[in-house]
Amino acid sequence: MRMYPAVNPQAYDRAITVFSPDGRLFQVEYAKEAVRRGATAVGIICKDAVVLVAYKNVTSPLLVYESMKKIYRIDDHIAATASGLVADARRLIDIARLEAQRHKLQYNEPIPVEQLSRHLCDLMQIYTQYGGIRPFGVSLLVAGVDGEPRLYEAEPSGALTGYKADAIGSGKKDSEAYFEKEYKDGLKVDEGIALALKALKKSENVKFKPENVDIAIATKASKDFKVLEPEEVAKYL
C-alpha cells in the first residue's frame, strides 16, 4: 500500500485547480463556507405556485430597508434568492437576466427555468477549473413557472439540484429538517408561505418583521412573480 507523506492542507488551498490527496478542492469548500455564513432563504413548491421567502439580516438601524433586496426578478416568470457574497449574487443575477432576454429574442418564448439554472451552473462550474479566478461564493435558489412550478438550487461547485422545498444559508440544515417532517404535496399558496416562514423561523433566532422578510410568489395562472409589499407580508407573520 502506497503511503503519502503528511502534508499541510494549506499547500493545496492556494490554487483552485489543485486537488488535495483526499480529492478535495479547498477553494470550492471555502466558497461553500461563505454560503453557510449567509442569511437563510427558503423556497417551496405548492400545488399551483412556487414561493420564495428570504430573511434580510439588518445589521444597523441606519440601513434603508428598501435598498436591501433578497429576491431578484430575472424574467417575468423566474426569480431567485441568494445566500453568500452579495456582489457575487448580483453578478450572477445580471448574467441570468441577459440569458433570459437573449433566449426570448432568439426563440420568441420565455426561457425554461431548468435551462436558465443550468446556464448559471455551467458558468459557476467553469470558475472551479481555471487558474487566476475564484469560485462564486454564493448559492442561488432559482424558482419559476413554465407549465409547472419549478425550484432549483445552484451551488458554488456548479452542482444543480431540483427540489420540492429547499433552503440555503446558515439555517439550511434546520430548515430542511423541518421541511422533511412537515412538507406535503398539494399545498395551497397560503399554506406554503406559512410553512416556509416556520422553516425560516427554525433557523433564524430573531423576531420577524415585515421589513426584514421578503416573500415572492409565482402562480401557474399568472406565470408572473409578485414580490409582496410589507403590509402584505405582515398578514403572514
The domain ranges of the chain are 23-56+72-229
| Predicted local distance difference test score (pLDDT) of residue 8 | 58
| Predicted local distance difference test score (pLDDT) of residue 23 | 79
| Predicted local distance difference test score (pLDDT) of residue 226 | 93
| Predicted local distance difference test score (pLDDT) of residue 17 | 72
**In this structure, are residues 78 and 113 in contact, taking their beta carbons and an 8 Å threshold?**
yes
| Predicted local distance difference test score (pLDDT) of residue 26 | 85
| Predicted local distance difference test score (pLDDT) of residue 19 | 80
For the chain, where are the alpha helices, taking DSSP H only? 26-36, 86-107, 113-126, 172-182, 189-203, 230-234
> Which residue numbers in the chain have pLDDT < 50?
1, 3-5
Q: Give the Å distances, CA to CA, from 44 to 140, 216, 224.
A: 14, 11, 16
Tens-digit pLDDT profile for residues 183-193: 999 999 999 99
| Predicted local distance difference test score (pLDDT) of residue 228 | 94
Topology of domain 23-56+72-229, CATH: Glutamine Phosphoribosylpyrophosphate, subunit 1, domain 1 (3.60.20)
| Predicted local distance difference test score (pLDDT) of residue 25 | 85
| Predicted local distance difference test score (pLDDT) of residue 12 | 58
